[in-house]
A = this chain, B = another copy of it.
Amino acid sequence: MHTIEQLTLLLEQRIKETGLPKEPTNLYAPIEYTLESGGKRIRPLMVVVASEMYSDNIDSAIYAALAVEVFHNFTLLHDDIMDNAEVRRARATVHKKWSANIAILSGDATVIHSYNLIAKCCVENFYDVINTFNTLATLVCEGQQYDMDFESRDDVTIDEYINMISLKTSALVAGSLKLGAQVAGAPKEDCDALYEFGVNLGNAFQIQDDLLDTYGNAATFGKRIGGDITEGKKTFLLLTALDKCSPKQKIELQEILASATFSEQERIDKVTAIYNDLSIKSFTEKKIDEYFTKASDILAKLNIDSAKKEVMYKLADLLINRNK
């Protein structure tokens, strides 16, 4: 069993050796650019750590991990076009640095490359592996569509929001864990349990991301604090506030979000004040704990060596405690 640090180094090395052709440059350079720009590689780590819980041979797990990481980068590449985002990981997004057309097409080549990688998993149960990969890929697209649909709706419920993040964010975390277990030949119940662990962990992570967007530390969060508020994003915080507030506060909240007269900072301050008034922070923290505890309970019940679980706990912590 490797440590997370060892696996991170190994993955970084393997991500560098993409094996992608050089030509046509406008197709492949944006993919290299996207892959090299990093992140914590948590999802591919999930694959390999899950795999090592069941097998010492991680050859196939590495390919599944790379497939997941490449797929994740594909979603970022296309999401950035859809959101018209200018910056990603402190660098210009592909559609800004090149063009929207190049970002669409190199994104397409990226998702196809992820299938090239998953097809390198040389395992007996390859049909299970590709089905898991197809499922996670489909669910992530569904989640992204719901997220886009929410932009033009003002009746989104908290349940709908949880369903959306379970698809957009958690399906990839959960699918990564299941893939890792599958390529290692883990029993079906364990694959399914790790999937459930991942859904809960992913939900905790996404709700925490919402929380940090308003209450995080600007220096470590990496994005501007309050961005979700200025964009009027339907986050767990906003939907909970709308659910808990008085009719008077609701009107006030909607007016602040719709108003064109406030500056961005004023809007952030006013909405945050309402959140404070409604104890949204502690309510959200409780929800995160709830999902995290559910996840931990599932992991605790797994019938495997506790030393092996320990690495997975650490990885879960790394996902949840990021930027705190």
Contact = CB atoms under 8 A, between A and B. Distances in A.
Interface of A: 21, 23-24, 26-27, 74, 78, 81-82, 101-102, 104-105, 107-109, 111-113, 115-116, 119, 122, 126-127, 130-131, 134, 137-138, 141-142, 144-146, 148-149
Per DSSP, are chain A's interface residues mostly helix, strand or loop, or mixed?
helix
Given A119-B127, A119-B131, A134-B116, A26 B149 contact: yes
A116 B126 CA distance: 13
A108 B142 contact: no
Nearest to A119: B130
A108 B149 contact: no
- Copies assembled: 2
A127 to B, nearest CB: 7
Given A27-B142, A109-B138, A148 B101 contact: yes
A105 B149 contact: no
A197 to B, nearest CB: 24
Contacts of A149: 24, 26
B113 A138 contact: yes
A108 B111 contact: yes
Given A111-B111, A148-B26, A105 B78 contact: yes
Contacts of A82: 101, 104-105
Given A24-B146, A111-B111, A127 B130 contact: no
Nearest 8 interchain pairs by C-beta:
A27-B145, A24-B145, A109-B141, A82-B101, A112-B137, A119-B130, A116-B134, A115-B134
Contacts of A146: 24
5 contacts: A74-B108, A78-B105, A78-B108, A108-B141, A112-B138
A236 to B, nearest CB: 20
B145 A130 contact: no
A84 B6 CA distance: 47
Contacts of A113: 138
Contact of A130 (B74, B107, B130): B130
A72 to B, nearest CB: 13
Max chain B C-beta neighbours (<10 A), residue from A82, A115, A130: A115
A74 B24 CA distance: 21
A169 to B, nearest CB: 16
Contacts of A130: 115, 119, 130
A108 B119 CA distance: 19
Contacts of A127: 119, 122, 126
A107 B145 CA distance: 12
Contact of A148 (B105, B122, B126, B145): B105
A141 B111 CA distance: 11
Given A107-B108, A115-B130, 11 more contacts: A23-B142, A24-B146, A24-B149, A74-B108, A78-B105, A82-B101, A82-B104, A108-B141, A111-B111, A112-B134, A115-B134
